[in-house]
Chain A
Amino acid sequence: MSGLEDLYREIILDHYRNPRNRGELDTPPAKRIEAFNPLCGDEVVVYLNVEDDKIADIKIAGQGCSISQSSASLMSQAVKGKDISAARELIRSFKAMMSIHESKLESTSSEELDEDQQVEDVVVNPEAMGELAALQGVVKFPVRIKCATLSWNALAQGLDEIEEEANSSK
C-alpha cells in the first residue's frame, strides 16, 4: 500500500489533526477569501492581513478532507511573515509541484518525461519547499490535486485583490 502511505504522510495527518493558524481575523482590516471544491463540498476560508507588503497574519477556517485542510495549514505556516513576492514565488512552486507530476502521469514517451524533468529543475527547489514536499504524494491521485491546491488558489486570489486595491488607491 505504498500509494496510500505516500498520500497520507505523517506530516499531513499531523497538520490535519492539529491544524496551525486555525481561526478568523477581523475584516477589515483582514481580507477574507472563500474557496470551494464542488466535487466533494470541501471549503477553505483564508483570512489575510498584509502590512508593508508582508503577510503579517494569516488564519484558516472551513472544513474538508485531510488533504485540503492539511495543505491549508502547511501553507499558512509557510507564508506567514513572508513578503508578498516570496509568497507568490511559493505559490508558483507549489502549483508546479502539483502539475508537473500531473503531466508526468499523462505522458508516455521518455522524451516528454525529460521535458518535465527540466521544468521541475527550473521551477521547483525541493529544499525551499520544506514540509510542503510532504504533499508531493498527492499527484499520484489526480482527483485529489484539487483538494491540495484549494487554499493556494484562495491565497493567490487574496493577494491579487489586495494588490489591485493598493494600485487603485494610489
Chain B
Amino acid sequence: MTSKTKLDSIDSTLQKEPLDVSEIRKDFPLFESREGAISESTHPPITYLDSAASSQQPRQVLSAMESYYETTHANVHRGVYAMAEESTRRFEEARSKVGRFINAPLPEVETVFTKNATESINLVAQTWGRRNLKPGDVVLLTIMEHHANMVPWLMLAAEIGFELRYLEITDDGELVIDDLEKKLEGVRLVGITLMSNVLGTINDISSIASMAHRNGAVVLADGAQYVPGMPTDVQALNCDFLAFSGHKMLGPTGIGVLWARKSLLEEMPPFLGGGEMIDDVRLDGFMPTAVPWKFEAGTPPIAEAIGLGAAIDYLEKIGMDKVREHELKLVSYAMNSLKERFGDDLTIHGPADPSRRGGVLSIAYKGIHPHDLAQVLDEYGVCIRAGHHCAKPLMRRLGVPATARASVYIYNDHHDIDVLSEALAKAGSLFGDAIT
C-alpha cells in the first residue's frame, strides 16, 4: 500500500543520549529520503525498528563499495597488474579490520569470509563436524538458537547419527546451566548464541566454554545479534568459532564472517571446492591452499567485504562501548515506558533486567496476533518484525505461535520508542478486547 497515516505529533521528553542520533541519521540516505518525503506530507517519517533482521547502511559504507567498483574493480588474488593488486589490498585490508574488531589473535589468518552467519555455521558443520563427529557423540545446543544454529546440526545428525542435546531456559529467558556438567557428558561441540534474536538474552558463554573445554568439547558462538551491538573479544569470550553477518552491523548483504582458531582451521577439510582455495590441482587430486583462503572457493564478494570494512570503521569511530550504552539506555526506556503505559496488557519476553539483554524487544500485546500488530504499526510507518523469527522450538517453549519484535540500533532514539508506543495504542483500540 502507498499511503500511510501520520500520527499526531508526539512530544518526546528531551533525553540525554549517549550518541548524537540526529547527527548519525544524517549519514543514512534512507532516513534522509524518508524525512524529506514528510514535508510533502505523503509519508510519516519511517520508524525503523527491525535492525535485528537487517540494519540500514550509512553513506560511508555505500560509497566505499561504489568507489571500489568505480576505480579499482578487478578479481582478487589473480592479476599482477596494479589495479588487481589494489583490489586485493582493499579486500585483505577489510579482512584484517574484521579480525581486529573481534580481537582475533591472528586477524589476517583466522578470519574467513562467508555469505552470512548461516553459511559460517554450515561451514563448521560440514567441515569440522563431518570430520570429527561420530555415532554416539553429542552436540549440545540451546532451545533459544536461531534455526541457523539448529538445522545444520539436525541435517548432519540425520546423516551421521550423533545425538543432539539442548540447554533449557528459565521463564525469565535465561539459560539453565545448573546441570551443565552432566549435560556436557559425551559432548564434542557446544553451539550457543551470544544473544537471542527473540528474547534478547545475553548468554555469558565464557564460563560455559571453560567447562566445555575441560570436557574436551569445542565451542561455537553465534554472534549474529551480539557482534553488531556489543564490544566483542573472541579471546575473552573463550570460544573456538564465532559466526556473524555483515548486514546486521551496517554492512551490505552477502558478506558474513567465520572466525576460528588457526589450529582448528588448519585441521578442517575445505568447504566448497573450486578456484582460489587450492595450491595445486592434478587430474587425480588437489592440494588445498593455506587458511583462510582454503575456505573461500570462487570469486568472493569483494565489494561487500570492503563495505563491511567501512561499516567497522564507522562503528569504531563511534566506539562499541557507546553503541552498547546507547542500546541499553533505549531498551531500558522502552521497557519502562511501555510497561507504565500498557501495564498487564503488554508482555515483553525475556529477561526483566535490561542489562541482561541486547537491543531486541519481543512484545505480546492484548492478545493481538503479531501479524495483525505489525500490519497496524506499518500504517504508521513503524517497521517491526512479526513471526517466529526462525526460532520455532523457542516459540513452542514460550507457548506462542509468533511474537512481534522491535529492535533498536545506533540511529534509533527515544522518539522512535514513543512512536512505537503510540502506534501500539492505536492497534489496541482497533482490536479492542478482541482475543481470547
* Max chain B C-beta neighbours (<10 A), residue from A16, A41, A63, A67: A41
Please, which residues of chain A bring their CB within 8 A of the CB of B402? 40-42
- Contact A40/B430 with A3-B1, A140-B1 known, Cβ cut-off 8 Å: no
Q: How many residues of A contact B (CB 8 A)?
A: 22
Residues B1 and A141 in contact, CB atoms below 8 Å apart: yes
Where the two chains meet, the residues of B that have a C-beta atom closer than 8 Å to any C-beta of A are: 1, 3, 5, 369-372, 375-376, 379, 386-388, 392, 395, 401-402, 430-432, 434-435
- Contact A66/B386 with A40-B402, A42-B401, A43-B401 known, Cβ cut-off 8 Å: no
Residues A7 and B375 in contact, CB atoms below 8 Å apart: yes
Residues A4 and B434 in contact, CB atoms below 8 Å apart: no
Q: Please name the 3 residue pairs, one residue from A and one from B, whose CB atoms are nearest each other, closest first.
A: A65-B371, A65-B369, A41-B401
Question: Total number of A-B contacts with CB less than 8 angstroms?
Answer: 59
Residues A13 and B401 in contact, CB atoms below 8 Å apart: no
- The answer for the CA separation of A3 and B370 in the assembled complex, in Å, is 18
Residues A64 and B401 in contact, CB atoms below 8 Å apart: yes
* Max chain A C-beta neighbours (<10 A), residue from B375, B376, B388: B375
In the assembled complex, the CB of B147 is this many whole angstroms from the nearest CB of chain A, namely: 11
Please, which residues of chain B bring their CB within 8 A of the CB of A7? 375
Residues B371 and A42 in contact, CB atoms below 8 Å apart: yes
- The answer for the CA separation of A63 and B401 in the assembled complex, in Å, is 8
Residues B375 and A17 in contact, CB atoms below 8 Å apart: no
B379 touches which one: A4, A42, A144, A147 (CB < 8 A)? A4
Residues A41 and B387 in contact, CB atoms below 8 Å apart: yes
In the assembled complex, the CB of B389 is this many whole angstroms from the nearest CB of chain A, namely: 10
23 interchain pairs (CB within 8 A)? A1-B5, A3-B1, A3-B379, A4-B5, A4-B376, A4-B379, A7-B375, A8-B372, A8-B430, A8-B431, A13-B434, A17-B434, A17-B435, A40-B387, A41-B392, A42-B401, A63-B401, A64-B369, A66-B431, A67-B372, A140-B1, A144-B375, A147-B371
A39 at the interface (CB under 8 A from B): yes
Please, which residues of chain A bring their CB within 8 A of the CB of B1? 3, 140-141
Please, which residues of chain B bring their CB within 8 A of the CB of A67? 371-372
Please, which residues of chain B bring their CB within 8 A of the CB of A13? 431-432, 434
- The answer for the CA separation of A154 and B13 in the assembled complex, in Å, is 51
- Contact A16/B370 with A40-B386, A43-B401 known, Cβ cut-off 8 Å: no
Please, which residues of chain A bring their CB within 8 A of the CB of B392? 41
Residues A16 and B434 in contact, CB atoms below 8 Å apart: yes
- Contact A16/B376 with A1-B5, A41-B388, A64-B369 known, Cβ cut-off 8 Å: no
A1 touches which one: B379, B388, B401 (CB < 8 A)? B379
Residues B375 and A16 in contact, CB atoms below 8 Å apart: no
- The answer for the CA separation of A132 and B54 in the assembled complex, in Å, is 37
Residues A16 and B5 in contact, CB atoms below 8 Å apart: no
Beyond contacts A3-B3, A40-B371, A43-B401: 20 other A-B pairs, Cβ-Cβ < 8 A, are: A1-B379, A3-B379, A4-B430, A7-B375, A13-B432, A17-B435, A40-B387, A40-B401, A40-B402, A41-B392, A41-B395, A41-B402, A42-B401, A42-B402, A64-B369, A65-B369, A65-B370, A66-B372, A66-B434, A67-B371
Give 1 or 0 for each of A1-23: 1 = CB within 8 Å of chain B CB.
10110011000010011000000
In the assembled complex, the CB of B404 is this many whole angstroms from the nearest CB of chain A, namely: 11
- The answer for the CA separation of A150 and B388 in the assembled complex, in Å, is 17
- The answer for the CA separation of A16 and B430 in the assembled complex, in Å, is 13
